[in-house]
């Protein structure tokens, strides 16, 4: 099964190849028609095209610009040649488009222009890098808008500008009934010969396309288009200039090539469609589907609440090394740093471990939670001999030994609750009763068969809090391949709806709720700036810088992660 990113790349690579056809054969969209395009620019932008309108608002040419969703690179080449920008980094997810753009750079010898194969949903940008960021009909293909705009806000230099021209209509183009009726009334004004699409099929009506159709062919199409402006306004002061096309966008889609701009009759039909859509917008039957957006850093950045005072975490890892069980120093240190961040948010509710064994990792989590009063809960059958009947007294003894270990290493934490059971016999309700606020840190380290891991991930789904961190053990251990298979089963059953990996360290993969992924990913990237960091973070800083130079970002299950080096 192809991933969403691969589907999107293949779809737009093929689409851009079609757009290379000569003359009207390449026209697909209403904006391709010069008569309609000129009418829009006259009506909304004083006769200027969007980038001339934008340049008129810039104090000076941009020194270093970034283009989001560059396609084949025509716009980037044009801006370099026009002197609007001195240097441009441009990226797109369509591999064929980037390959063609890079070849064009080599052939033309144009300087100051670099093209990168990247996904805007996941790319982490360098800080204060660009004084101009722009996107032409690209933002409506971004699903992780919060991540992208947060990154743009970081990379945009003080006084810099973000410009976009885009579709901002209903997500997945699920138009209201009145809007569809206005579109179909406009379509009915066109002669039959003008309604034949590129395949010779008569366009008789405009209907809502099933969302499943988008997911099948191009999962990025208008994924969250209606949210572009509201989400952008969380990060920037935004000027919005509507660009119409409330009817013409769908009416002329795939039939615009039938209208000869040198034919007076055809131009009259185009003018008629534009009049109808302006009337529909005035009456409220239709909304403008496109807009130009000009964004700058907020004049007064929103005040951030002061984090709670949290004492530095000074853990004696030697104490934990004396407990049986495998836990690398890297995993322990990153766990402590993530827990420290949770305490500063604050986001500490409860701590849960599925698979306590001798209590090594649970003792670490309990030690980190000292002073918070957070419930400490562990679940373990306290037997590693599958299928063998172990006397209950022996299992209780193992539980009491693990409990004593936790109490000894974390005397200031809440009294741990250890449940003697297989995780398959525990319900989410029973675990929530022990921590009504959910769990802010969850360790998954019980059964290592694929079915066990998938079931454990399903068990914790209802227990996630806003900033929950999940640490899955033995994910890349060659002796326990079932763990990775269980994760694969989970992500196959729950694509982009529950968990998202964001970091890996030692023997643990760290995950969070998918909506919190940009926040946690940005946080672990921020750890690389610590000048006093331990050796594994210093090594990671060097490898990350190398990856950035290559334009490479490690990813797992479609999410970017930061893979910490071992020392």
351 and 261 in a common domain: no
331 and 254 in a common domain: no
409 and 283 in a common domain: no
CB atoms within 10 A of CB 77: 19
Report how far residue 534's alpha carbon sits from residue 567's, in angstroms, rounded to the nearest whole number: 9
Q: Are 438 and 410 in contact (CB under 8 A)?
A: no
Report how far residue 152's alpha carbon sits from residue 155's, in angstroms, rounded to the nearest whole number: 5
Report how far residue 49's alpha carbon sits from residue 38's, in angstroms, rounded to the nearest whole number: 8
Structure-block tokens of residue 404: 């004593």
Whichever domain contains 251, its CATH number is 3.40.50.150
Domain ends where: 237, 264, 297?
297
> Do β-strands 290-297 and 236-242 pair in parallel, antiparallel, or remain unpaired?
antiparallel
Burial of 454 (0-12, 13-18, 19+ CB in 10 A): buried
Q: What average pLDDT score do residues 160-179 get?
A: 93
pLDDT, residue 532, reads 81
Domain-located, residue 193? yes
End-to-end CA distance of the chain: 37
Domain-located, residue 96? yes
Q: What average pLDDT score do residues 465-490 get?
A: 90
H or E, element range at 36:
helix 34-45
131 and 18 in a common domain: yes
Report how far residue 256's alpha carbon sits from residue 250's, in angstroms, rounded to the nearest whole number: 10
Helix axes 74-82, 95-108, angle to 10 degrees: 30
Q: Are 520 and 512 in contact (CB under 8 A)?
A: yes
Q: What average pLDDT score do residues 407-426 get?
A: 87
79 and 180 in a common domain: yes
Q: What average pLDDT score do residues 254-278 get?
A: 95
Domain-located, residue 415? yes
Domain-located, residue 302? no
Domain count for the chain, please give it.
2
Q: How far is CA 60 from CA 85, 163, 314, 500, in A?
A: 10, 15, 50, 41
Burial of 300 (0-12, 13-18, 19+ CB in 10 A): exposed
Q: State the average pLDDT for the chain.
A: 86
Q: What average pLDDT score do residues 336-347 get?
A: 83
Does the pLDDT value for residue 2 go beyond 90? no
The model's pLDDT over 351-406, given as tens digits with 9 standing for 90+, comes to 999 998 888 898 889 888 888 888 999 999 887 655 566 677 777 778 888 888 88
The sign of the CA dihedral 86, 144, 230, 213 is positive
154 and 81 in a common domain: yes
The sign of the CA dihedral 328, 331, 337, 339 is negative
Domain ends where: 268, 297, 326?
297
Does the pLDDT value for residue 178 go beyond 90? yes
- Identify the CA nearest to 164 among candidates 240, 61, 233: 240
Q: What average pLDDT score do residues 121-141 get?
A: 89
432 and 547 in a common domain: yes
323 and 274 in a common domain: no
Report how far residue 86's alpha carbon sits from residue 117's, in angstroms, rounded to the nearest whole number: 21
Domain-located, residue 304? no
326 and 277 in a common domain: no
Domain ends where: 238, 268, 297?
297
Domain-located, residue 303? no
**Beta-bridge partners for 64:** 87
Burial of 24 (0-12, 13-18, 19+ CB in 10 A): middle
Report how far residue 561's alpha carbon sits from residue 554's, in angstroms, rounded to the nearest whole number: 6
Cα 284 versus chain centre, distance = 33
**411 versus 260: which is more confidently predicted?**
260
- Identify the CA nearest to 517 among candidates 536, 503, 531, 504: 503
Q: What average pLDDT score do residues 487-508 get?
A: 83
For the chain, count helices (H), then strands (E).
20, 17
CB atoms within 10 A of CB 157: 17
Does the pLDDT value for residue 1 go beyond 50? no
Q: 538 lies in which domain range? A: 317-563
The sign of the CA dihedral 443, 444, 447, 449 is negative
Burial of 545 (0-12, 13-18, 19+ CB in 10 A): exposed
Strands (E), 286-366: 290-297, 351-354
Which of 92-101, 251-260, 420-429, 520-529 is modeled with the greatest confidence? 251-260
Q: What average pLDDT score do residues 144-162 get?
A: 90
Does the pLDDT value for residue 310 go beyond 50? no
Q: What average pLDDT score do residues 514-520 get?
A: 84
**58 versus 164: which is more confidently predicted?**
164
388 and 248 in a common domain: no
349 and 249 in a common domain: no
Report how far residue 210's alpha carbon sits from residue 219's, in angstroms, rounded to the nearest whole number: 12
414 and 375 in a common domain: yes
Report how far residue 374's alpha carbon sits from residue 377's, in angstroms, rounded to the nearest whole number: 10
Does the pLDDT value for residue 102 go beyond 50? yes
Q: What average pLDDT score do residues 213-232 get?
A: 87
Domain-located, residue 156? yes
pLDDT, residue 123, reads 80
Domain-located, residue 306? no
Q: Are 119 and 6 in contact (CB under 8 A)?
A: no
Report how far residue 376's alpha carbon sits from residue 352's, in angstroms, rounded to the nearest whole number: 6
């Amino acid at each position: 099964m192809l991933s969403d990113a691969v589907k999107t790349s293949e779809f737009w690579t093929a689409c851009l190849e079609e757009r290379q056809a000569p003359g009207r054969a390449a026209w697909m969209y209403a904006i391709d028609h010069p008569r309609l395009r000129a009418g829009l620019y006259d009506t909304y932008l004083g006769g200027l095209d969007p980038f001339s309108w934008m340049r008129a608002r810039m104090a000076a040419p941009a020194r270093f610009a970034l283009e989001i969703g560059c396609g084949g690179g025509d716009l980037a080449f044009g801006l370099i040649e026009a002197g609007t920008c001195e240097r441009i980094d441009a990226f797109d997810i369509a591999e064929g488009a980037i390959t063609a753009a890079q070849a064009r750079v080599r052939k033309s010898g144009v300087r100051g222009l670099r093209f990168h194969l990247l996904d805007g949903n996941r790319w982490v940008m360098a800080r204060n890098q660009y004084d101009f960021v722009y996107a032409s009909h690209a933002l409506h293909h971004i699903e992780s808008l919060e991540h992208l705009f947060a990154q743009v806000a970081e990379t945009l230099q003080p006084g810099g500008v973000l410009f976009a021209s885009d579709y901002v209509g209903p997500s997945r183009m699920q138009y209201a009934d009145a809007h569809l009726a206005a579109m179909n009334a406009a379509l009915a004004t066109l002669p039959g010969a003008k309604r034949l699409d590129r395949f010779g099929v008569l366009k008789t009506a405009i209907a809502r396309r099933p969302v499943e159709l988008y997911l099948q062919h191009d999962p990025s199409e208008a994924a969250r288009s209606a949210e572009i402006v509201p989400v952008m306004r969380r990060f920037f002061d935004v000027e919005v200039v509507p660009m119409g096309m409330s009817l013409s966008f769908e009416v002329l889609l795939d039939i615009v090539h039938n209208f000869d701009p040198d034919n007076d009759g055809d131009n009259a039909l185009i003018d008629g469609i534009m009049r109808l859509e302006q009337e529909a917008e005035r009456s409220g039957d239709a909304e403008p589907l496109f807009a130009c957006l000009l964004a700058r850093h907020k004049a007064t950045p929103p005040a951030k609440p002061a984090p709670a005072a949290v004492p530095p975490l000074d853990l004696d890892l030697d104490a934990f090394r004396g407990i049986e069980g495998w836990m690398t120093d890297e995993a322990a240190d990153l766990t402590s740093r993530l827990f420290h961040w949770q305490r500063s948010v604050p986001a500490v509710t409860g701590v849960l471990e599925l698979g306590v064994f001798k209590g090594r990792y649970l003792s670490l989590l309990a030690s980190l939670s000292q002073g918070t009063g957070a419930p400490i809960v562990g679940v373990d059958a306290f037997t590693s001999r599958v299928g063998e009947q172990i006397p209950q007294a022996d299992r209780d003894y193992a539980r009491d030994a693990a409990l004593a270990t936790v109490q000894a290493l974390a005397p200031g934490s809440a009294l741990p609750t250890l449940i003697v059971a297989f995780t398959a016999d525990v319900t989410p309700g029973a675990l929530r009763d022990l921590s009504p606020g959910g769990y802010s840190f969850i360790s998954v380290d019980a059964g290592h068969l694929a079915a066990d891991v998938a079931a454990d991930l399903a068990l914790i789904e209802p227990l996630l809090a806003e900033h929950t961190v999940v640490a899955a053990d033995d994910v890349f251990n060659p002796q326990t391949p079932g763990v990775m298979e269980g994760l694969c089963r989970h992500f196959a059953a729950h694509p982009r709806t529950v968990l998202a990996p964001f970091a890996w360290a030692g023997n643990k993969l760290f995950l969070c709720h998918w909506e919190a992924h940009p926040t946690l990913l940005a946080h672990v990237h921020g750890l690389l700036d610590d000048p006093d960091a331990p050796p594994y973070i210093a090594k990671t800083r060097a490898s990350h810088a190398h990856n950035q130079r290559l334009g490479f970002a490690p990813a797992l299950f479609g999410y970017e992660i930061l893979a910490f080096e071992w020392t």
